[in-house]
Structure 1
């Protein structure tokens, strides 16, 4: 089809595209360049289940960002990526050490434990970040048959609280875990935002820091759907292809996942999108700091702003803009910026916040 003869559809628009919010970067649509890539991959017949030219080309792109030996396994979503990756790193009796606030513990409906069949050993953290000392609270009992065996440390970059690990902090965690015979998984749902904020290549705090397996995010950074499990250390896993299928994450028309990842990674779209989202979060944080009675809870290092304000103000503001309570009892909320958040979006939200605080 050409622009002069656009394709027709019987589907109808069921939402108002002018409505904006700060609930999640998942609320954003797909980036136009990703949509264009999707259309590019359409038409004709291509091999199914990853036997296509787009997935083959992805295997050439990913190593350039991460490691020469890296292998990418496209999957449907982030939970699927995490569960598949953790299964690949553990035995049936294995356990995973993670922060108590980790997505795999709080927001995946028990999938790592119920679907993956592994035990999560959680550690409270003040800022969502593990340290070697915190890891040691659960890193013991390898020879105790009565206890699930700690085999993996899972960290998130950036964390669920919007904080960042430095490359040196991740290296220290990886060295500590490896010295104890454990492997390291990194949940990188917002990996691009971390790289943009740190102003370093993704490899600096993943493969070069010693991470064994990575869940590489895309949906929160402009893709329609899809993520990838990236094996950085081939010696750390086995039978990834079989585990992906067993975990119900093998796409029959994989080219439509792979081409989206190509759209992000081929040049700098992944970085442009992430930098913009981060910049909008900084703009939002700067405006919030000027509002008396609103407290920013964590350093704003990526595209999330965590704040505390009166409960009734949040409720009224939610009638105007969609966002979530993080801890409703404490009055804590989370505001997320996305690749398509505009300066006008931020400024309008700040004006509404000031109005509601003044009531």
Structure 2
């Protein structure tokens, strides 16, 4: 069965599985003091610069919590888009662990603007309101849209001019870099801390928190431990990043997922009355589909004929009437999968 509901439904890339098996040979020091973890850390420095410090985690939520806990005190607040994963999909974990507040703002396409950052930064100094401290963005956004390098530079310049820090949720940073034609560091230009995702790019359970400003990195392992992410057998997470970063696997996987999403968008666009809600720039396709006999019947038809499972999008459908949907491609989505999806979609909506 082909699932386009999420890139979390994919398997693990064979090269990453092989790396985990190799890491299983013999014994190694625990809690990240092993040679494989040191190698993964060096590979991250090769990509992000010699100043980068890193800790590993097994979920993207944990990576975001560690990053934000480094930046925030309980009387502070972080600005993010109202569609941000940290605001909508992490069960208030950032607020629970930091004690700080998330300040959310509406956006046109998931991207914050320098003007929004500047407005957020203008605190009146009152003890009745939390103090602005940081800005958190996703690259790409939860709507699949991208910040260009110039966008990032402008956003970071505004944030830093007002004494704010910039965190990037890079759960799909590889997809952004592949789409922009840049390296990972360039796709996260001017950030202070990056949450780098591996899980959505073919890994089993592997995310990292990268401190690009080393002055922030001092308490990283203490916060990692408090967040329950200091793994006794951390080499198995490190092995996955070695497999992704030592060569071009991270880019190959991401570029393929992006290409398959573009094909999915072509299929959706071929349905009369379907509307693509946001530019398809990475591996996500948001669309509104015409309904046949009502939204519930249309959704059931898609599921019943299931070559492709779909998910109702919480982000709206770009203003078009119909059934809002999100389709996600992954590193293991194939052209045959897309063709099967096309048959299901056309059978359900055209007949």
TM-score class normalised by the smaller sequence: over 0.9
3-state SS of paired residue (1:109)? coil
3-state SS of paired residue (2:313)? strand
3-state SS of paired residue (1:121)? strand
Give the superposition deviation at 1:202: 1.3
CA contact (8 A) 1:94 1:118 kept: yes
Give the superposition deviation at 1:142: 5.9
How far, CA to CA, are the matches of 1:221 and 1:93 in structure 2?
35
How far, CA to CA, are the matches of 1:344 and 1:73 in structure 2?
38
Give the superposition deviation at 1:92: 2.5
Within 5 A, what are the aligned runs for 1:311-326? 311=295, 312-319=297-304, 320=306, 321-326=308-313
Matched, 1:34 2:16: yes
Partner of 2:55: 73
- Counterpart pick for 1:252 among 232, 235, 259: 232
How far, CA to CA, are the matches of 1:341 and 1:61 in structure 2?
27
Q: Which runs of 5+ in 2 are unaligned?
A: none
Within 5 A, what are the aligned runs for 1:106-255? 106-141=88-123, 143-206=125-188, 209-255=189-235
Partner of 1:288: 268
Give the superposition deviation at 1:237: 4.4
- Counterpart pick for 1:336 among 322, 328, 334: 328
Superposition TM-score, scaled by structure 1 size: 0.92
CA contact (8 A) 1:84 1:116 kept: no
Partner of 1:301: 281
Superposition TM-score, scaled by structure 2 size: 0.94
Give the superposition deviation at 1:139: 2.0
Q: How many residues are treated as equivalent by the alignment?
A: 339
How far, CA to CA, are the matches of 2:113 and 2:303 in structure 1?
36
3-state SS of paired residue (2:336)? helix
Greater Cα shift, 287-296 or 333-342: 287-296
Matched, 1:52 2:31: no
How far, CA to CA, are the matches of 1:237 and 1:43 in structure 2?
31
CA contact (8 A) 2:156 2:190 kept: yes
Matched, 1:347 2:332: no
3-state SS of paired residue (1:308)? strand
Give the superposition deviation at 1:250: 1.1
How far, CA to CA, are the matches of 1:247 and 1:168 in structure 2?
34
Q: Are the structure 2 counterparts of residues 342 and 192 from structure 1 closer, same or farther at C-alpha, using a change threshold of 3 Å?
A: same
CA deviation profile, 1:100-150 (whole Å, cap 9, x unmatched): 000000000111111222100101001000011122342222622111111
Q: Are the structure 2 counterparts of residues 104 and 287 from structure 1 closer, same or farther at C-alpha, using a change threshold of 3 Å?
A: same
Q: Which runs of 5+ in 1 are unaligned?
A: 1-18
CA contact (8 A) 1:157 1:164 kept: yes
CA contact (8 A) 1:88 1:238 kept: no
CA contact (8 A) 1:171 1:205 kept: no
Matched, 1:274 2:254: yes
CA contact (8 A) 2:37 2:238 kept: yes
